[in-house]
Amino acid sequence: MASCELCGRQISDGKKTAVLIDGTIFNVCMQCSRRGKPYVPVESTKKKSVVTSISRKSTPKIRMTDETILDPEFARIIRDARMKKGLTHEQLGAQMNEKATLLKKFESGTLKPDEIFAKKLEIFLGIKVYTNSPEGEK
């Protein structure tokens, strides 16, 4: 028989519960188990991270070459496309799973979108913010 690591009661192994309290794992009785969150072994979280890393790899990326540049008018292109769809920053942000403040910074030209965000904009707004430079086409 083991004892509860919180209250000290004697508990049988079958009624012992592992909980997470303030980042520490405790083996506790059923009554004390409500004081923490159920502990999930590391093995199950590793499986989840493998699945998410695989799904990230399958996301198509923009092929960045020396000839690929950010359109100088990217801020206007993003704003016009969003307004054409009749969306607010908050609505578009919710659809893209991004923050509205980030979209506002792109539209004002304060920030430049990276290739991942540019790909999202292509999908949701149907625009291209990265183009081939005129020098690369000659």
Domains and CATH numbers, the chain: 2-57 (no CATH), 68-137 (1.10.260.40)
Per-residue confidence band for 9, with pLDDT thresholds at 50, 70 and 90: confident
Specify the pTM.
0.50
74 Cβ contact partners less than 8 Å away, ≥ 6 residues apart: 106, 109, 112, 113, 129
Chain segment 26-82, per-residue pLDDT in tens: 888 888 888 888 887 766 444 444 444 444 455 555 555 556 788 888 899 999 999
Examine the pLDDT at 93 and tell me if it is beyond 80. yes
Mean pLDDT of 121-128: 89
How many alpha carbons lie under 13 Å from residue 41 in its C-beta half-sphere? 4
